[in-house]
Amino acid sequence: MRVASGKESVLPPPVVQERYPQSSSRRISRDHAADDAATITSTKRFFLEEIDEERVLPLLSAYCFMTGFINAVCFSAIFGWCASQTGNTFQLSIAVGRFADEEPDRSFRLSDRLALCSLLSFILGVLIGRLGDTIGPKTRLWMACGTLIQTLFTMAAAVSVWKSGVPTFGDAGAGPAWNNVLAFTCLGFMSASMGLQGLMAKRLNTQFSTTVVLTSIWCELVGEPKLFHMRRRVVERDHKMMTIAACFAGGFCGRALLGEVGAACTLGVATGFRLFISAWWLAAPKKMDEDEDQEK
């Protein structure tokens, strides 16, 4: 083929597309699939690992801190507790006992209604905590997700008390300050979060098992045979003292913050604390096997 100038035109060489053999493409696809499967398996194994309950003392101390922090809110308003159900149970029994009077009092008092609301919500929170038995009560996944549920309950309590418009502090002479539906809703969410927290800590079976009430902790601490062995480290005694100190610190901080910003903002801060604790559980160390412990 010639052009008008008489010179031959040089065409560019044809482009040849290299093709990988079909077997190589399949092998690459299998490698990618294997990598994805390994990643999923590794992630699943990480979340379902059991945590070492003896090495999560800071997290359990944070649970105790939250018990004092949140109870400071409800006691300041209704002179009752959302965590300790001993008093609520006795209060309801006394309310029923009033029917035996010569002139029975059949009124359903506000304090009795609050006690019943707290008790039923606490039981509901414990029932929700039983979901952890299907996953594994000591797994990293359940401890993080369970604490996240506590966070959502606390957030709902903060929104409820904010919308309710009730005062932060109750008058001892006038009785409980929370007297409308949204205030009852707030108490219910707080009590449910405490019930869930109590069961989750109980399932770990440590000296911090009772993160909700301290009566048994005080009995065990004062009755500890090595209570006055101050020159040596006694794990059982020291952990009980940490439980009490954390609850006391939580109550102190909760009441101090309550006087400055009110109930809604205080519960908002509690929501942030619990969200942090939920993420912290993901970093909890796993439980070592006996062979790994011997190697260390």
Q: Per-domain residue ranges for the chain?
A: 58-96+109-283
Average pLDDT over residues 207-225: 78
Report whether 217 contacts 60 (CB < 8 A): no
pLDDT digits (tens, 9 = 90+) for 31-41: 666 666 777 88
In the chain, which ranges are continuous DSSP H helix? Answer: 22-47, 57-78, 85-97, 110-129, 132-135, 140-164, 181-204, 215-222, 235-281, 290-295
DSSP per residue, 274-296? HHHHHHHHTTPPBPPPHHHHHH-
Q: Give the DSSP letter of residue 9.
A: P
Could you give phi then psi for residue 100, rounded to 5 degrees? -85, -5
Tokens 């604790």 label which residue?
277
pLDDT digits (tens, 9 = 90+) for 217-261: 888 888 878 778 777 887 788 888 888 999 999 999 999 999 999
Residue 11 CA to residue 14 CA, distance in Å, equals 9
Burial 35-59 (b: 16+ CB within 10 A, else e): eeeeeeeeeeeeeebebebeebeeb
Which CATH architecture fits 58-96+109-283?
A: Up-down Bundle (1.20)
- pTM given for the model: 0.83
More confident residue, 235 or 125: 125
Look at residue 269 in the predicted model and tell me its pLDDT.
Answer: 96
Burial status of residue 157 (CB atoms within 10 A of its CB: 0-12, 13-18, 19 or more): buried
Q: How does residue 263 score in pLDDT terms, banded at 50, 70 and 90? A: very high
3-state class (DSSP) for residue 2: strand
Closest by alpha carbon to 92, among 111, 79, 71?
A: 111
Q: Identify the bridge partners of residue 50 per DSSP, sorted by sequence position.
A: 139
